[in-house]
Structure 1
Amino acid sequence: MTDFFSKSRITARAGYSRWLVPPSALSVHLCIGQAYAFSVFNEPLTRVIGIAAPAVDDWKLTTLGWIFSLAIVFLGLSAAVGGKWLEKVGPRLTMFVAACCFGGGFWLAALGVYLHQIWLLYLGYGVIGGIGLGLGYVSPVSTLIKWFPDRRGMATGMAIMGFGGGAMIGAPLAVWLMDHFKSAVSVGVMEAFIVMGGLYFVSMMIGALTIRIPPHGWQPEGWVPPKVENKMITQNHVHIDQALKTPQFYLLWLVLCLNVTAGIGVLGQASVMIQEMFKGSVTPAAAAGFVGLLSLFNMGGRFFWSSASDYLGRKNTYFVFFVVGACLYALIPGMGQVGNVALFVILYALIMSMYGGGFSTIPAYLADIFGTRYVGGIHGRLLTAWSTAGVLGPVLVNYIREYQIGQGVAKADAYNVTMYIMAGVLVLGFVCNLLIRPVHEKHHMKYDEFDELDGAFPRETETEGEQK
């Protein structure tokens, strides 16, 4: 069994097409992307006892909101801890564990619904499922970067686009299953959890069984590595633990955190925001369509911007995110004041495309700065920025809005200050991105001969600078 999960077992043979790897990654990311659609369960979960209407002992929305929050927190924590393990054992075992955790999390949550024990939902979907999210998120990324050294941005965009689009499958699937199983004694959530846990486990296992890694030293036929003159793309590697000792890691952490903070805060309030800013002009149904459109741009932006970064450069791509994004946020209050719904929607769609693009471009940025050898583990540790932003963004939007309304500001104008603050957040991100420089040679590794296939870590010896 140990050999089945080993790196030697999944190392591709000569002639293997690298284009068979992205479907393996997508089979995982399209599953775990369901997390963005968990909110469709919230309202039915408030009626588990009352069925037709909430009963006295039913859960409140505020209680249920912690399920998603826990999942995102443990996504970041498990990615940070499991990233180094991924580099040692390879993607197959990591994806297998992710499938067990994510599918098993649904099943444990189903037991929590059956017994009406909220702590089982917290533990099941929030903690165990969140661990599956984190391991599943980072598992294919470093593999794709190694298969596509000539198109790092496009490669990561293909996988992470799946995470952005997972809700487009998960939401209608969940609604259909709940409608199918609902009855006079059930809202259908428990049964939907059981089925979805099984479906996602099988799909993620397909990814785990079909994933392959390139042989050590493999390069695409006819590809010439970038010239050394491009200082922002290193030809060296930085050990995962050494990366934490560099200022570049913390600057990139801030770059991701600030970009995500600006986007995720308004994403969670998008439906309410457009209805309040254009009261009477936008119906709830139209607001739902607006949210769906933002999801499309979130997903499409992940592939478009990461692919574009192969030509623009990763640093320049983030400059676009921060400069254009700050301008768009500053323009939004004006759109509400003049009542221009169409332009408001266009501005937000562009913002969401860059929000998604920030997620998919960061792994390639890390590979450029730290090398590809440990990019999966470094990426996992950097995802703690997502967990931080997942709390910081909504808190900024929600509390500032409540404060504004409490001061007598009309709901339609309660988001104006928030938009300007988000523009300022992106300006800060611009400064952090500006400060990023190539990693000093003292952090580079020098490899002796080592066996890439058995997962052994190369021995770190003297640095390039010491040799000189």
Structure 2
Amino acid sequence: MTDLQESWTEIGASAGLLSRDRTIAKPGFNRWLVPPAALAIHLCIGMAYGFSVFWLPLSRAIGVSDPVTCEGMSLVSALFTTSCDWRIADLGWIYTLFFVLLGSSAAIWGGWLETAGPRKAGVVAALCWCGGMVVSGIGVMTHQLWLMWLGSGVIGGIGLGLGYISPVSTLIKWFPDRRGLATGMAIMGFGGGAMIGAPLADRLMNHFQSAESVGVWQTFFAMAAIYLVFMLAGAFSYRVPPAGWKPEGWQPKVSAKKAAMITQHHVHLRDAHKTRQFWLIWLVLCLNVSAGIGVIGMASPMLQEIFAGHLIGRPDLDFTQLDTGQKAAIAAIAAGFAGLLSLFNIGGRLGWASASDRFGRKNTYFIFFILGIALYTLAPSVAHSGNQVLFVAMICVIISMYGGGFSTVPAYLADVFGTQFVGAIHGRLLTAWATAGIVGPVVVNYLREAQIAAGVPRAQVYDYTMYILAGFLALGLICNLLVRPLDEKWFMKPDELAALQAREHKTAEVKSGSFGIDRGRFDLPALLAWAAVGIPLAWGVWMTAQKTAALFH
């Protein structure tokens, strides 16, 4: 009886619309349809970077025009109050929860994703991310901060983790010839999501606001509906290649030195974290992200406090001498600076990851660390020289390498550990991001406050910070140097791999070249799929470019 029940369960699972078997591509499928599917999900969850657009309106959700403040309110009281407006610091915890839950959920459910397939993971991500926004909207309606933490921070954070890693393994298997480009195309969407979501949220809040409401809960509901459509469309567009597939006529063509870092074998998920290489790459990502996120977190105040009056043609005024109107003027310019960094963030994700296909992943990280150390070390001197344009250019390059680190690391893992479990291994590695999300901002913010308290001029409070972040990169350089090819004992035996792939792909293996040939990349379905994600992204870039223009006036 038990055997019969198990058989029916297996049949039901394999016939399910979300099962991995239903996502195996059929002959004639164009592999260039997969990146826009991944972008559809990443552009939605990338709004996590733009959630700060809600903080100011939410800080006056009760008062609407003026915040209803309550002196001495504790964090616990803020979670349950219905009569006091929330402080921005209390709302900011949602941002922390985003990235802590992203890393932890990716690590916990990465192994499940490899067996469940990208479609099921994408659907769960859509339900969590969009459902979390609905719960947050209810939290705003009832003025319960704990519901916002639970909705967007916890439930939405789980959606972030699953949505972020859902396409990684699939894309790397579809593009063995262009691993960096493939992951760069998808992961750049996460960096660009805020460019679409933030101005969209701003327009929706302006549309819904009234004398009784700041328009945030209505915006949450509207964006949840929009994102659900896009994310489900992306999830149901995912396809995985049959076992043994490779592009027509493709054979690895790399130099002997580069080939040594690219294995043709596979490491099981249960063994990956037991290797020294895993933890070295973990540190490589953590240190690169800690340095970059430290700069992102302080980009706006750094520009304002360092250049102050220079930004408005009054070089004789430092930040403390500016009046309210002048501070508002430089704040608008700093907003343009933040937008410019967003462009370099997404550009770096695509550009550096693509370049890694030529340079090799390890060498690309060497560039990040060596060039980064030079830029972080020189930035204070350039700032004190008053060369605003050069300073902005240096920070833009730094942020491009921050984004490039994210998009290059999945291909780095595939090179070292193989592709069979790369999505799950990447999920576990993202705990480095969660760690960096705490380390980077804490180091920067507390050091800044300590120096201000010690009487250090505002224009100089970031000097030591930049030197410390350069030290992070120096440690990362050493870790990257120590990464070596894995010993053969860590690789799966051929019979174990064949049995595993047979369970995942119950259909017969196909010969290379039956799917996804490059000459089909511009057929009509592919053009429509790319337009569906490209047009919103282009709109976001245009909106950001308009704000950035103020930086150069």
**5 Å matches for 1:184-199?**
184-199=211-226
1:456 is displaced (CA, Å) by 8.1
Per-residue Cα deviation, 1:338-368 (whole angstroms, up to 9, x for no partner):
1110000000000000000000000000000
Q: Which residue in the other structure is 2:247 paired with?
A: 220
Distance in structure 2 (CA, Å) of the matches to 1:66 and 1:177: 23
Distance in structure 2 (CA, Å) of the matches to 1:250 and 1:131: 23
Alignment TM-score, normalising by the size of structure 2: 0.81
Q: Which residue in the other structure is 2:185 paired with?
A: 158
Residue 236 (str. 1) matches residue 249 (str. 2): no
Residue of structure 2 aligned with 1:306, choices 339, 345, 353: 353
Q: Which residue in the other structure is 2:281 paired with?
A: 252
Q: Which residue in the other structure is 2:168 paired with?
A: 141
Residue of structure 2 aligned with 1:37, choices 47, 50, 53: 50
Q: Which residue in the other structure is 1:335 paired with?
A: 382
Alignment TM-score, normalising by the size of structure 1: 0.96
1:7 is displaced (CA, Å) by 1.6
1:15 is displaced (CA, Å) by 1.6
Q: Which residue in the other structure is 2:321 paired with?
A: none
1:406 is displaced (CA, Å) by 1.1
Distance in structure 2 (CA, Å) of the matches to 1:30 and 1:386: 19
Distance in structure 1 (CA, Å) of the matches to 2:22 and 2:500: 14
Distance in structure 1 (CA, Å) of the matches to 2:454 and 2:494: 62
3-state DSSP class of the match of 2:192?
helix
Per-residue Cα deviation, 1:34-65 (whole angstroms, up to 9, x for no partner):
00000000000101100001013100011111
Residue of structure 1 aligned with 2:340, choices 278, 293, 297: 293
The residue type paired with residue 65 of structure 1 is G
Q: Which residue in the other structure is 2:22 paired with?
A: 9
Contact map agreement 1:157 1:304 (CA 8 A) in 2? yes
Per-residue Cα deviation, 1:351-391 (whole angstroms, up to 9, x for no partner):
00000000000000000000000000000000000000001
Distance in structure 2 (CA, Å) of the matches to 1:280 and 1:274: 11
Q: Which residue in the other structure is 1:404 paired with?
A: 451
Contact map agreement 1:7 1:454 (CA 8 A) in 2? no
Distance in structure 1 (CA, Å) of the matches to 2:450 and 2:436: 21
Contact map agreement 1:450 1:456 (CA 8 A) in 2? no
Q: Structure 1 residues 456 and 9, CA, compared in 2 at 3 Å: closer, same or farther?
A: closer
Q: Which residue in the other structure is 2:79 paired with?
A: none
Structure 1: runs of 5+ lacking an equivalent:
458-468
Q: Which residue in the other structure is 2:392 paired with?
A: 345
Distance in structure 2 (CA, Å) of the matches to 1:451 and 1:262: 39
Residue of structure 2 aligned with 1:450, choices 499, 507, 521: 499
**5 Å matches for 1:103-122?**
103-122=130-149
Q: Which sits farther off after the overlay, 46-55 or 219-228?
A: 219-228
1:454 is displaced (CA, Å) by 4.6
Distance in structure 2 (CA, Å) of the matches to 1:73 and 1:244: 19
Q: Which residue in the other structure is 2:68 paired with?
A: 55
1:284 is displaced (CA, Å) by 1.4
Per-residue Cα deviation, 1:265-302 (whole angstroms, up to 9, x for no partner):
11011111000000112211111111100000000000
Contact map agreement 2:242 2:505 (CA 8 A) in 1? no
Contact map agreement 1:145 1:152 (CA 8 A) in 2? yes
1:226 is displaced (CA, Å) by 4.6
Residue 380 (str. 1) matches residue 427 (str. 2): yes
The residue type paired with residue 352 of structure 1 is I
Per-residue Cα deviation, 1:190-209 (whole angstroms, up to 9, x for no partner):
00000111111111000111
Distance in structure 2 (CA, Å) of the matches to 1:152 and 1:453: 24
CA RMSD of aligned residues (A): 1.3
Contact map agreement 1:90 1:455 (CA 8 A) in 2? no
1:447 is displaced (CA, Å) by 3.1
Q: Which residue in the other structure is 1:464 paired with?
A: none
The residue type paired with residue 370 of structure 1 is F
Residue 64 (str. 1) matches residue 83 (str. 2): no
Q: Which residue in the other structure is 1:265 paired with?
A: 294
Q: Which residue in the other structure is 2:515 paired with?
A: none
Q: Which sits farther off after the overlay, 290-299 or 221-230?
A: 221-230
The residue type paired with residue 25 of structure 1 is A
Q: Structure 1 residues 165 and 51, CA, compared in 2 at 3 Å: closer, same or farther?
A: same
Per-residue Cα deviation, 1:139-189 (whole angstroms, up to 9, x for no partner):
011100000000000000000011111010010010000000000110000
Structure 2: runs of 5+ lacking an equivalent:
1-11, 70-83, 312-329, 507-553
Q: Which sits farther off after the overlay, 276-285 or 207-216?
A: 276-285
Contact map agreement 2:243 2:505 (CA 8 A) in 1? no
Distance in structure 2 (CA, Å) of the matches to 1:455 and 1:100: 25
> How many pairs does the alignment contain?
457
1:451 is displaced (CA, Å) by 5.8
Q: Which residue in the other structure is 2:537 paired with?
A: none
Q: Which residue in the other structure is 1:463 paired with?
A: none
The residue type paired with residue 23 of structure 1 is P
1:455 is displaced (CA, Å) by 3.1
The residue type paired with residue 260 of structure 1 is V
Distance in structure 2 (CA, Å) of the matches to 1:222 and 1:126: 46
1:404 is displaced (CA, Å) by 0.8
Q: Which sits farther off after the overlay, 393-402 or 281-290?
A: 281-290
1:4 is displaced (CA, Å) by 1.1
Q: Which residue in the other structure is 2:38 paired with?
A: 25
Distance in structure 1 (CA, Å) of the matches to 2:100 and 2:59: 23
Per-residue Cα deviation, 1:432-453 (whole angstroms, up to 9, x for no partner):
0000000111111013232636
